[in-house]
Amino acid sequence: MAWDFETDPEFQAKLDWADAFVTEKVEPLDLVWPGLEFTPLEGKRREAVEPLKQAVREQGLWATHLGPELGGAGYGQMKLSLLNEILGRSSWAPIIFGCQAPDTGNAEVIAHFGTAEQKERYLQPLLNGELFSCYSMTEPQGGSDPGTFTCAAVKDGDEWVINGWKFFSSNAKTASFFIVMVVTNPDVEIYRGMSMFLVPADAPGIKIEKNFGMGAEHEGSHALIHYDNVRVPADALLGDEGQAFAIAQTRLGGGRIHHAMRTIGMAQRAIDMMCERALSRRTQGSLLADKQFVQGYIADSYAQLKQFRLFVLYTAWSIDKHNNYLKVRKDIAAIKVLMPGVLHDIAQRALQIHGALGVTNDMPFTRMMVGAAVMGLADGPTEVHKVTVAKQVLRDYKPSEDLWPTRYGPKLKALAREQYAEYLEHEVGNF
C-alpha cells in the first residue's frame, strides 16, 4: 500500500515560502498594475518586478515546469499542482514565477521540437522572461475545430507564404513572436496536413484587426489576426511539415491541467472571502453565518472544491506515474469538464453572500464567473471533452452477448442456481 496525502517537509517549506511571498509581495501588483502582466517591463515596473523574479530564482521556484537543462526544477505534475494552487490567487504570480500561459506551453513545444537556432532566438529569451509569445491556432469560422481551418501556408522557393485569419490569439498585441498553426497540404487528411511556424510579430503582412475584451473589458488582448501574404523562411517551420497535431497535443495536455490547478487557488480565495463575509455581516437579527441558506452555500462550496482538488491531484499523480498524457486523457478531459462549473458555482455563491457589493468591480466575483465561462471554451469546449470522456469510458466495456442485460435478474438467478445446483437439488421448499 502506498497511499499518502502528506507533502514532504522540504517541499512544504517551499510552498510555505511561496504562499507568504505571493500574499505579501505579488498580490499587491494586481492592484497597482492591473492588466499589465503581459506588457513588456519598463521603467519603474521593471525596477519593482525584477527583484521579485530574482527572489523566486533564489528559492529554486522559477519555471519549475521545465527541466534543469532549461533552467527549471523539472517538477512533476504533483508538485506543480500544489505550487499552482498558490499562484492561482494572483494574475501577476505566474509572471513572477516564470510559468505564465501561453508562454509555458509555447516554451515546451519549442524545447521539444525546435532547432538549435530556434531555441537560441525564441526559447531562451522566453525562459528569461524578457519577451512574450502568442499561440495562434483557432479561426473565426470554426473555433477550435481544425477540420474547418483555412489559414494556409504555400511554399514559394525558400519561403512559406501564410494567408488567412486567426481568432482569439491571446496576447498577440504584446507578443514578440507567434506560433501559427496552418494548412500546408490540403490534399491529405487534416491530421497530417497541418504544420506550425514560428513567426516574428513584426513580420510584414500581420494585421491585428481587433483585440477582443472579455466581459466588461473595454479592450482586451485576444486578437483577430489577418495574415496577409506573410512570408517566413523555410527554417521558420516548427518540427516537421505535417506535425502540427502532435505538437499541439504536447502543448495542450499539460496546459489543461495547469488551468485546473490555478482554478483551485481562485476558488479557494472565493471561499475564504465568502466565509469572512458570513462572519462579518448581520441581518434579520443574526450573523449571515447563522443563516441556513448561507451555511448551505459554504458547505456546498467546500465539498465541491475538495472533490475537484482531489481529482486534480490524482490526475497529476497519474501523469507523473505514466509520463504519458495520452494514458491520462480521460481524466484530463473530465477535469476540463468540471473546472468551469466549480469556479462559477463557488464564485456565484460568494457573490450572493456579499450582496450588492458582490456584483461591483471592486470585488473579483464577476471576473471569476466570466473566467469560468472562458475556461468552458478555451483549449476545446466542454462538450467536446464530454464526448472524449464518454468514448474513453466506453472502451472499458463490451455489449451484452444476448437480448438481456448482463445484470438482468432472472438471468443472474438462473446462473446462480446452476452454480449451486448440487446443493439445491436436495432442498425441499418453495422458491
Q: State the pLDDT at residue 213.
A: 83
Question: What are the two backbone dihedrals, phi and then psi, of residue 207, each rounded to the nearest 5 degrees?
Answer: -125, 110
- Comparing C-alpha atoms, which of 136, 114, 40, 10 is closest to residue 70? 114
- Report the run of H or E that residue 238 belongs to, with start and end: strand 237-238
As beta bridge partners, residue 367 has: none
Name the residue with cell 481551418. Answer: 149
- Report the run of H or E that residue 124 belongs to, with start and end: helix 124-127
As beta bridge partners, residue 134 has: 178
- Which sign, positive or negative, has the C-alpha torsion 165, 252, 93, 74? negative
Dist. CA 193–CA 32, nearest whole Å: 46
3-state DSSP assignment of residue 396: coil
Give buried/exposed letters for 364-381 (b at 16+ CB in 10 A, else e).
Answer: bbbbbbbbbeebbebbbb
Kindly list the distances between the CA atom of residue 397 and the CA atoms of 110, 400, 408, 415, in Å, as whole numbers in the listed order: 39, 10, 17, 21
Question: What are the two backbone dihedrals, phi and then psi, of residue 309, each rounded to the nearest 5 degrees?
Answer: -60, -45
**Other residues' Cβ atoms within 10 Å of the Cβ of residue 172:** 23
Q: State the pLDDT at residue 252.
A: 62
pLDDT in tens, the chain (431 residues): 677 888 999 999 999 999 999 999 999 999 999 888 888 888 899 999 999 999 999 999 998 888 887 778 889 889 999 999 999 999 999 999 998 888 888 888 898 899 999 999 998 888 877 888 999 999 998 777 888 899 999 999 999 999 999 999 999 999 999 999 999 999 998 889 999 999 999 999 999 999 988 876 767 788 999 999 999 999 999 999 999 988 887 666 666 788 899 999 999 999 999 999 999 999 999 999 999 999 999 999 999 999 999 999 999 999 999 988 888 999 999 999 999 999 999 999 999 999 999 999 899 999 999 999 988 988 888 999 999 999 999 999 999 999 999 999 999 999 999 999 988 876 655 55
Q: State the pLDDT at residue 43.
A: 87
- Comparing C-alpha atoms, which of 104, 31, 41 is closest to residue 72? 104
- Comparing C-alpha atoms, which of 107, 106, 181, 84 is closest to residue 142? 181
- How is residue 283 written as a grid cell? 441581518
Q: What is the DSSP string of 157-215?
A: TTEEEEEEEEEEEETTTT-SEEEEEEES-TTS-GGGSEEEEEEETT-TTEEEEEEE--T
Contact 37, 49 (CB under 8 A): no
Q: State the pLDDT at residue 253.
A: 60
Q: At what angle do helices 77-87 and 9-21 cross, to 10 degrees?
A: 20
Dist. CA 310–CA 315, nearest whole Å: 9
Domains and CATH numbers, the chain: 9-114 (1.10.540.10), 133-238 (2.40.110.10), 246-268+302-346+355-394 (1.20.140.10)
- Would you give the distance in Å from CA 164 to the centre of its chain? 27
Would you say how long the chain is, in residues? 431
Nearby residues of 241 by Cβ (< 8 Å), 6 or more positions away:
184, 185, 195
As beta bridge partners, residue 161 has: 154, 231
